[in-house]
Amino acid sequence: MAKKVMGSLKLQIKAGQANPSPPVGPALGQRGINIMEFCKAFNAKTQEMEPGSPVPVIITYYADKSFSFETKTAPASYYLKKAAGLKPVGKRNRPKGSTKPGRETAGYVTVAQVREIAEAKMKDLSANDVEAAMQIILGSARSIGIEVKG
C-alpha cells in the first residue's frame, strides 16, 4: 500500500551545508519531519556538488512522518553570475546582477558559456533541445543585466 502524502515543500539550501538552524529546521519541524535525518541525507546526496552552491530541493512528507526529497540543479542566475565573474557583495555576501537590467551591464558571458550552462540545466528546464534551453538561459541573463558576447 502506498504512503499517504501529507504535502510537499520547496527549499533552497547550500550544497553539503544543511543544518537544523533556520530556515531548514523550523520549516521541517513544524511539519513533523526528522530534521537531523533530512540534513544527513541531503548533505550525503549533495557532497559531489560544488560546496556552497544553492540547491533547490522539493521535500514530500507523508502521514507516517517519513519523507522523500528531490534535488534540482542550481539556479541559472547562479551559473550566469559565476561565469561572468561577479564578485560577492552585500549583507549575504552573494554576487549581484545589475540594479537596472537593460540599461546597465553587470558583466559579460560568451555564447559557449551559455551553451555549457544550458546543457548543465537541461534536465530541469522545459526545453526539448539545447538551442531552446539556451534561449531560456539568455532570458535569465538579460533579466539580471548580464550581456552575451560573440
Beta bridge partners of 118: none
- Asked if 142 and 83 sit in the same domain, the reply is yes
pLDDT for position 57: 93
53-107 residue pLDDT tens? 889 999 999 888 888 999 998 888 888 888 888 776 655 666 777 677 777 777 8
Domain enclosing residue 39, as ranges = 5-71
Distance (Å, rounded) from C-alpha 61 to C-alpha 33?
7
Total count of domains within the chain: 2
Interhelix angle 111-121/130-143, rounded to 10 degrees, is: 110
Give the tens place of pLDDT for each residue, 107-118: 888 999 999 989
In a shared domain, residues 102 and 48 = no
- Does residue 23 have a cis peptide bond before it, meaning omega lies within 30 degrees of 0? yes
Point out the domain boundary residue: 46, 71, 96. 71
What single-letter amino acid sits at 89? V
| Residue whose C-alpha is closest to residue 107's, from 135, 79, 66, 65 | 79
CATH of the domain at 144: 1.10.10.250
Single residue among 42, 71, 100 that ends a domain in this structure: 71
Last residue of a domain, one of 71, 100, 121: 71
Span 5-36, pLDDT tens digits = 888 999 999 888 888 888 888 888 888 888 89
Grid cell 526529497 — which residue? 69
- For residues 93 and 52, the answer to whether their CB atoms sit within 8 Å is no
Same domain, 12 and 30: yes
- For residue 60, what pLDDT is reported? 92
Predicted confidence (pLDDT) per residue in 33-51, tens digit? 888 998 899 999 988 888 8
pLDDT value at position 69? 92
Burial of 24 (0-12, 13-18, 19+ CB in 10 A): buried
Which pTM does this prediction carry? 0.80
Q: Are residues 88 and 118 part of one domain?
A: yes
Q: How high is the mean pLDDT of the chain? A: 85
Question: Contact 106/87 with Cβ under 8 angstroms?
Answer: no
> How far is residue 114's CA from residue 147's CA, in Å, rounded to a whole number?
11
If asked whether residues 53 and 88 sit together in one domain, one would say: no
The three-class DSSP label of residue 98 is coil
36 and 86 together in one domain: no
